[in-house]
Amino acid sequence: MNENIIHQNYSITQKDRNKAFKHPSFVLWFTGLSGSGKSTIANALEVELFKENKKVYVLDGDNIRMGINKGLGFSLEDRNENLRRIAEVSKLFVDAGIIVLAAFISPTIKDRKMVEEIVGEDQFFEIFVDTDLETCEKRDVKGLYQKARKGEIKNFTGIDSPYEKPENPDVHIRTEKESVEDAVRKLINFVKNISL
């Protein structure tokens, strides 16, 4: 760290905010292939948590790349920087007392471990939205898989770039067997067991 940069401590802490908001703050990290349903489930969960007066916010890959990560490409280095920045933003949100629902492919175990280390092990929960490649391609509303198959998009996860499934996710959602509503119910029950 630069010797001219000094960490500033503030009077109000994350613990103070959690107590005031009457819930803990943490990150639910949704990982899975493009088209798996990560953002759809995160959005539906946000609605339900918001109804319960929880301070909650969704961070989504496309939206982040339109702003804070605008200008980053899809090289390995840029993908790593993309996730590092998202992890740092998530950490700030958690400190602010907010439940973060982060929906990002984050294709490697190493990627997700880096995020966990930045956010904090006790505040990071991995949600595996498990959807097979065939189903994701059928749902391909953006036409990305089709472009990747034609060679118009290089290093596309699931086609010519690997996806490493989580080894032991905190919540495992199988979208071929579970509806969005089922997934949200499962996640609500999981969230209820996260204590202050």
> Which domains, and CATH codes, for the chain?
22-192 (3.40.50.300)
Cα–Cα distance between 160 and 150 in angstroms, integer? 11
Cα–Cα distance between 37 and 30 in angstroms, integer? 9
Supply the pLDDT for residue 20. 93
* Residue-wise pLDDT tens digits, 144-159: 788 778 777 777 887 8
Cα–Cα distance between 101 and 50 in angstroms, integer? 12
pTM for the full model? 0.91
Supply the pLDDT for residue 111. 93
Catalytic residues, by residue number, are 106
pLDDT above 60 (res 22)? yes
Pick the more confident residue, 87 or 150.
87
The CB-side HSE value for 57 (13 A sphere, CA atoms) comes to 13
Mean pLDDT, the chain, whole residue set:
89
Pick the more confident residue, 5 or 110.
110
Supply the pLDDT for residue 27. 98
